[in-house]
Chains A and B, each alone.
Chain A
Amino acid sequence: MAVPGVCLQDFPLWSGGPTPGHFYNFPGNSKMNTGKSHTMYPSTSGTSVVGLVYDGGVMLAADSLGSYGSLARFRDVKRLFKVTDKAALACSGDIADYQFIREVIEQKVRDDVCGGYTRELNAGALHCWLTRVLYNRRSRFDPLWLECVVAGYKDDEPFLGYVDKIGTAFEAKEVATGFGLHFAVPMIREAREKKQNLSCDEARKLLTECLKVLYYRDCRAHFKYQLADITPEGVTIHDDLNLKKETNWEVANYISGYE
């Protein structure tokens, strides 16, 4: 019996249940069937992060640039942060998602401290948790657009891990994201081939060298950077480091024209 101008929606047959002919949002699963699409691209983004394990700790470095597409918009973004005395985290990708996950993690650490939980969050646990969160988000088509590097200690062993926006996660002795994968990782591997265990100074020099090469060859890199050094004693973050003075543009004298 079709009454003109009136459809089934005006007289719900029951309240709070499925409406015939429409998607039903099951309770507890808020995002699945709304038909909304979430932003699937980063807006303000950070470029590569590089990390390596050396003899006596782990070191992480990331530059301080937040790019808005091809605009170098925010030149003092702190993409590296200390989680606890045993872990540090650096992210590349969307800065908004990084800030969100940082606040969640900081709250988590605060809850642990206030709740009297004596075992502080270590790098391995953080890595595992982050993998699950990022994988779950991607499975719900609502990813956090991040490539994270987790560095620190796990049960007295140095730990360095990588987690992706799609949930790819692995541990390695040298890890990088973005262009760092193509430029920095070969450099670190080559250095390690010559000397298995790098000292603290050698590791720092190598990381600075990697960031310098990235500044030369990555369009979205910057010369201001942060460096984190995680040792059994704790986490030291060096902010506002500048590699501009170390760049060598002498090669420009040998280039003129294209032929």
Chain B
Amino acid sequence: MAMSFEWPWQYRFPPFFTLQPNVDTRQKQLAAWCSLVLSFCRLHKQSSMTVMEAQESPLFNNVKLQRKLPVESIQVVLEELRKKGNLEWLDKNKSSFLIMWRRPEEWGKLIYQWVSRSGQNNSVFTLYELTNGDDTENEEGSRFVGVS
């Protein structure tokens, strides 16, 4: 499953796994975490996860560095993602969540653009066609691959 995923430099920086008390530093840190989570989930085609899985996943647990992000800090990162619109909680207890590495609005925009370009406005077609159709076997279409 772990393809040639390129970890960002922060992943090898031990302080990345400690929630920084300095507000400005923390902002940068959280931004880095958010983009890491999104790109990780996108590459591994993971759209939902439980918090327990997250704790043990290589995403938050860098075994080689011997550092893991503590669960309270994971919660902070998830909250950031939620605020940005990239995350939705699937249950009241906040134990599992949905990750949308592209926000619904962004998808909407992309689909519309694609539809316009391929001249298929005002015709109905299925999601299957959208993801697997001949027309989609181009650069833009490949973006749709892997959408659940």
Answer whether A and B are interacting partners. no
B residues adjacent to A (C-beta < 8 A): none
A residues adjacent to B (C-beta < 8 A): none
